[in-house]
A and B are shown apart, each in its own frame.
Chain A
Amino acid sequence: MTERDGGRRPREGRSGTVPDDADAGVRQSVDSPLPSSLVPLEARRLSVHFGNRSALDCVDARFAAGETVSLLGPNGAGKSTLLKALAGILPPSHGEVRLHGRAVRRPSSAIVYVPQRSGVDWGFPVSVLDVALLGRGLRRSRFAPLGGRDRRDALDALERVGMRHLAAVQIGQLSGGQQQRAFLARALVQDGAVYLLDEPFAGVDVPTQELLVGLFGRLRDAGKTIVYASHDIAQAVASSDRIMLLNRRLVAAGPPARTMTEANLRAAFGGQAIVPVASSAAS
Chain B
Amino acid sequence: MSGLGDALVEPLRHAFMQHALVAIVLVGVICGVTGTFVTLRGLAFMGDALAHAIFPGVVIAFLLGGNFLIGALVAAVLVSLGIGAVGQSGRLSNDTAIGVLFAGAFAIGVALISAQRTYTRDVAGFLFGSILGVSRTDLLLTGGVGVLVLLAMLLFRRELTTVAFDRVFAQAAGLNLWAWDQLFLVLLSLSIVVSLQTVGNVLVLAMLVTPAATARLLSDRLPVTVLVAALLGAASGVAGLYLSYHVGIASGASVVLVATGLFALAFLFAPRTGVVTARVARRLHFPHPERDAFAAEGNRGMGYGDRV
| A interface with B by C-beta (< 8 Å) | 51, 84, 87-89, 106-109, 111-113, 115-116, 119-121, 124-127, 130, 134, 137-138, 140, 142-143, 170, 186
Are A125 and B167 also in contact (CB < 8 A) when A107-B173, A113-B172 are? Answer: no
Q: Which residues of chain A come closer than 8 Å to B292, judged between CB atoms?
A: none
Q: Which residues of chain B come closer than 8 Å to A111, judged between CB atoms?
A: 172
Residues A113 and B162 in contact, CB atoms below 8 Å apart: no
Sorting the interface of chain B by its residue count into under 10, 10 to 19, 20 to 34 or 35 or more gives 20 to 34
* Min C-beta distance of A90 to chain B, whole Å: 9
Q: Which residues of chain B come closer than 8 Å to A126, judged between CB atoms?
A: 161, 165, 221-222
Within the assembled complex, what's the spacing in Å between the Cα atoms of A125 and B215? 11
* Min C-beta distance of B3 to chain A, whole Å: 41
Within the assembled complex, what's the spacing in Å between the Cα atoms of A88 and B170? 12
B289 at the A/B interface (Cβ < 8 Å)?
Answer: no
Q: Which residues of chain B come closer than 8 Å to A116, judged between CB atoms?
A: 168
Residues B173 and A125 in contact, CB atoms below 8 Å apart: no
| B interface with A by C-beta (< 8 Å) | 40, 90, 155-159, 161-162, 164-169, 171-175, 216, 219-222, 224-225
Within the assembled complex, what's the spacing in Å between the Cα atoms of A112 and B167? 14
- From B90, B162, B224, A134 is in contact (CB under 8 Å) with B162
Interface residues of chain A: helix, strand, loop or mixed (majority): loop
Are A106 and B40 also in contact (CB < 8 A) when A142-B158, A170-B220 are? Answer: no
Residues A115 and B173 in contact, CB atoms below 8 Å apart: no
Q: Which residues of chain A come closer than 8 Å to B221, judged between CB atoms?
A: 125-127, 130, 170
Please name the residue on chain A nearest to B222 by beta carbon. Answer: A125
- From A51, A108, A138, A143, B162 is in contact (CB under 8 Å) with A138
Q: Which residues of chain B come closer than 8 Å to A121, judged between CB atoms?
A: 40, 164-165
* Min C-beta distance of A79 to chain B, whole Å: 14
Within the assembled complex, what's the spacing in Å between the Cα atoms of A116 and B222? 23
**Most A Cβ at <10 Å: residue of B159, B169, B220:** B169
Are A134 and B172 also in contact (CB < 8 A) when A125-B219, A125-B222, A170-B220 are? Answer: no
Are A134 and B40 also in contact (CB < 8 A) when A124-B164, A125-B221, A126-B222 are? Answer: no
Q: Which residues of chain A come closer than 8 Å to B216, judged between CB atoms?
A: 125
Q: Which residues of chain B come closer than 8 Å to A120, judged between CB atoms?
A: 165-166, 169
- From B158, B172, B222, A115 is in contact (CB under 8 Å) with B172
Please name the residue on chain B nearest to A137 by beta carbon. Answer: B158
- 4 smallest beta-carbon distances between A and B, as pairs: A113-B172, A115-B168, A170-B220, A137-B158
